[in-house]
Structure 1
């Protein structure tokens, strides 16, 4: 194990080399823990095709789910950024497909979130709004909001994310909600519905009461509307990963 800049360290695990935060408590809320491998003695056959393992047919563990597979069913080596692996790692076909989709989020949407966008921000039931730049922190743990005032929201304290879209009658399906209990719906770039705002429910530091916040892409900032829309779509995808992490 060796230390590297920016508060991270290289850790060698049975699954491969990982780039981990120096302080485990400050890991990204999108990250996943390595799974416990199914013990060799408990898997005499491939858990996908039921082929019996022997000296010729060797067993391999999927780095994402920890199950045992033959080489045919676990041959793909795919990046797994949610577990902080430095290099692509061996995964079963089902896990590889999931990881490939997540890699696009890490390569594209995270950069959009960290670059930030400008919104009109309304707190609680207030009628007053403030123009603020909202961006995701470099460690993915906080939403920073900067304007005349400044405050931050910890992602782990967010209980509900609602993306407001344009193009539907209010009260029908104009609010797309992600929680650990509700069925998820998707907003697609270039689709019929355009993301125009975001509603958050969260707990502030030192409080157990739920706070509300609304972010709206203002019509006064036409040059920012496309950027704001991309940021909202990225936040929608981030919410999906966030709540999936809580359920695992």
Structure 2
């Protein structure tokens, strides 16, 4: 039973009807739950009623599905350093079709399950990992973001993950090429899309 709006505390009656947000499931009045937004992650293609807080996240998700997801699925070329390897390997990195894995394909092939990634850091021009102008998320699942820097151009990404059966974490570093070619622009666009995906996962982890 839910006798009052969980946002404005208005009492439900014949004139003030009760509505459920299709995302969080909480009870609201029409004023507090009047926005209708597509909710693709829950298979609602047509707009559905959501509270203001959930609608904001759903709008961001809709933009991600329309723009950034296509970039991540297409992939981009990077210099990849896996673990303590001495030399980087040129590989194509892309998101798998089921959106559950990062696929790295070159002379060798690796699959990294998204849920096993524990830390992501987007590196920006002029700074190394851990310095002030990098975008860092210590965990996709629970921790607070460490920092979110300015608008400098993304040049690479560092992430940590736990491989199946391994005790510790493995570090993976992706670096975009140095030239100004279309390949470099594609790599930069992929890094930006991955950063937005990581931020979206963090913001919607409790939704």
Pair in the same fold by TM > 0.5: yes
Over 3 Å counting, the alpha-carbon distance change for 1:171 and 1:144 in structure 2 is closer
Question: How far does residue 230 in structure 1 lie from its aligned partner after superposition?
Answer: 0.9
How far apart, CA to CA, are the structure 1 residues paired with 2:57 and 2:206?
16
Residues 51-70 of structure 1: matches in 2 within 5 Å? 51-70=10-29
How far apart, CA to CA, are the structure 2 residues paired with 1:200 and 1:227?
20
Over 3 Å counting, the alpha-carbon distance change for 1:101 and 1:145 in structure 2 is same
Question: How far does residue 234 in structure 1 lie from its aligned partner after superposition?
Answer: 0.9
2:199 match: secondary structure:
helix
Structure 1: which 5+ residue stretches go unaligned? 1-40
Question: How far does residue 169 in structure 1 lie from its aligned partner after superposition?
Answer: 7.4
Question: How far does residue 78 in structure 1 lie from its aligned partner after superposition?
Answer: 0.4
Aligned to 2:33: 74
Over 3 Å counting, the alpha-carbon distance change for 1:51 and 1:74 in structure 2 is same
Aligned to 1:183: 145
2:80 is the counterpart of 1:121: yes
Over 3 Å counting, the alpha-carbon distance change for 1:246 and 1:54 in structure 2 is closer
How far apart, CA to CA, are the structure 1 residues paired with 2:103 and 2:174?
13
Check conservation: 1:203, 1:211, Cα contact below 8 A: yes
TM-score normalized by the length of structure 2: 0.89
The range that moved more, 91-100 or 134-143, is 91-100
2:92 match: secondary structure:
strand
How far apart, CA to CA, are the structure 1 residues paired with 2:165 and 2:43?
30
The partner residue of 1:152 within 88, 91, 111 is 111
Check conservation: 1:167, 1:194, Cα contact below 8 A: no
> What RMSD over aligned residues (CA atoms) do the two structures have, in Å?
2.1
Q: Across the two proteins, how many residue pairs are aligned to each other?
A: 204
The range that moved more, 237-246 or 153-162, is 237-246
Aligned to 2:9: 50
Over 3 Å counting, the alpha-carbon distance change for 1:103 and 1:147 in structure 2 is same
Aligned to 1:84: 43
The range that moved more, 234-243 or 156-165, is 234-243
2:24 match: secondary structure:
coil
Over 3 Å counting, the alpha-carbon distance change for 1:245 and 1:156 in structure 2 is farther
Aligned to 1:199: 158
Which consecutive segments of 4 or more residues in structure 1 shift more than 6 A? none
Q: Deviations over 1:213-246 (max 9, x none)?
A: 1100011572211111110011111122334455
TM-score normalized by the length of structure 1: 0.75
How far apart, CA to CA, are the structure 1 residues paired with 2:29 and 2:144?
36
